[in-house]
Amino acid sequence: MIKIRVLGSAAGGGFPQWNCNCDNCTGVRTGGLDAISRTQSSIAVSTNGEDWLLINASPDIRKQILDFPGLQPNRARRDTGIRAVLLIDSQIDHTTGLLMLRENDKPLDIYCSRMVYQDLTSGFPVLRMLDHYCGVNWHEVTVGGESFGVEGIEGAEFSAFALSSKAPPYSPHRNDPHPGDNIGLRIKDKVGGGSVFYAPGLASIEPHLTPAMNASDLLLVDGTCWTDDEMERREVGTRRSLAMGHLPQSGPGGMIEALKPFERQHKVLIHINNTNPMLVENSPERAELTRAGIEVSRDGMELEV
């Protein structure tokens, strides 16, 4: 059995975002909307319920650990349930939490692609910085779907797939995309056979992803924006969802439509931007998702495959 704990279900900025007065952020702050707050994008995965792989390290990690005692056992004076960290990209919402793990009593085992490693040792040199604290053991993740294991998470088989996306603004190759800038991840239980496909940044369901998604029981995928021009609609910016590497849910070719062929899969959206109308529990957008058999993740949600 693979246990998945959603530590943070929001996209970068969280919900509400610190400086945002859009209808959603105002509504959740004042209690005027039927919506709950969410921390930034991260999940934890375990096969034995004791040793956890942190997938993405969000700036909200301190609160996320406090909210999930499983990550902070008391077997020694200094202790953690986090055995390793896997990064799906080098974006701020997925990597700045690494700085908060600097007190680790041994080098952090970090699994990521060569591209992400390069970004995190150049444009945002967080791994170099950690060398002055706990240190880092880098395990290279190859991105062609080859299976690999993670030390401490015995019983799970991992495979990573390159996604067409963009590296972050501080990446040395921001305007020159490479395979591995962003990955989708499949995690399979070697014993029971169940599996999850996880991709919080998914601009499209590319043909090379379909077999892995078809073979998975749970699809935990990009829920960033409802429409491509959502930021503009909310008058909070001009960045477009697709340009940021996130397929919007609604409309022709959107995520709801793209997920339709996956009939037997449990479908859950994650990495939700604070502008997304589906965050409102009693919204028509949420009702549309429910009719399509798609759930919206929340912090603390537990899933099993």
Q: How far is the CB of 215 from ligand MLT (least distance, A)?
A: 26
Q: How far is the CB of 61 from ligand MLT (least distance, A)?
A: 15
Of these, 165, 250, 274, 283, which contacts Zn ion (CB under 5 A)? 274
User: How far is it, in rounded angstroms, from Cα 98 to Cα 120?
Assistant: 11
Query: Using DSSP, how many helices (H) and how many strands (E) does the chain show?
Result: 9, 14
Q: What single DSSP character describes residue 142?
A: P
> Alpha-carbon dihedral of residues 86, 90, 93, 96, nearest 10 degrees?
80
Number of residues counted as binding ligand MLT (CB under 6 A): 9
User: How far is it, in rounded angstroms, from Cα 29 to Cα 26?
Assistant: 5
The reply to whether 59 sits near ligand MLT by the rule CB under 6 A is: no
The 144-148 sheet, strands edge to edge: 144-148, 156-162, 183-189, 195-199, 218-222, 266-270, 294-296
| 28 touches, from Mn ion, Zn ion, ligand MLT, none (C-beta below 5 to 8 Å by class) | none
Site mask for Zn ion (CB under 5 A), range 15-34, x = bound: -----x-x--x---------
Q: Which of residues 224 and 274 has its CB atom nearest to Zn ion in the complex?
A: 274
Applying CB under 6 A, which part among 9-17, 46-54, 79-87, 187-195 lies near ligand MLT?
9-17
The reply to whether 92 sits near ligand MLT by the rule CB under 6 A is: yes
Q: How far is the CB of 93 from ligand MLT (least distance, A)?
A: 4
Q: Cβ(269)–Cβ(297) under 8 Å?
A: yes
User: How far is it, in rounded angstroms, from Cα 265 to Cα 217?
Assistant: 5
Q: How far is the CB of 135 from ligand MLT (least distance, A)?
A: 26
| 22 touches, from Zn ion, Mn ion, ligand MLT, none (C-beta below 5 to 8 Å by class) | Zn ion
Provide the 3-class DSSP secondary structure of residue 46: strand
The reply to whether 255 sits near ligand MLT by the rule CB under 6 A is: no
Q: How far is the CB of 278 from ligand MLT (least distance, A)?
A: 17
- Nearest residue to 198 (alpha-carbon basis) of 210, 214, 187, 209: 187
Q: Which of residues 51 and 181 has its CB atom nearest to ligand MLT in the complex?
A: 181
Footprint on this chain of Mn ion (rule: CB under 5 A): 11-12, 91, 93
What are the angstrom distances between the C-alpha of 260 and each of 2, 88, 185, 194? 25, 25, 20, 20
- Nearest residue to 206 (alpha-carbon basis) of 184, 187, 224: 184
Applying CB under 6 A, which part among 86-94, 117-125, 141-149, 255-263 lies near ligand MLT?
86-94
- Nearest residue to 228 (alpha-carbon basis) of 245, 209, 208: 245
Q: Cβ(216)–Cβ(185) under 8 Å?
A: no
User: How far is it, in rounded angstroms, from Cα 269 to Cα 221?
Assistant: 5
143 alpha carbon, distance to own chain's centre: 17
Q: How far is the CB of 51 from ligand MLT (least distance, A)?
A: 28
The reply to whether 93 sits near ligand MLT by the rule CB under 6 A is: yes
Sign of CA dihedral 165, 295, 156, 188: negative
Q: How far is the CB of 13 from ligand MLT (least distance, A)?
A: 6
The reply to whether 223 sits near ligand MLT by the rule CB under 6 A is: no
| 25 touches, from ligand MLT, Zn ion, Mn ion, none (C-beta below 5 to 8 Å by class) | Zn ion
Q: Which residues bind ligand MLT (CB under 6 A)?
A: 11-13, 91-93, 201, 244-245
Q: Which residues bind Zn ion (CB under 5 A)?
A: 20, 22, 25, 274
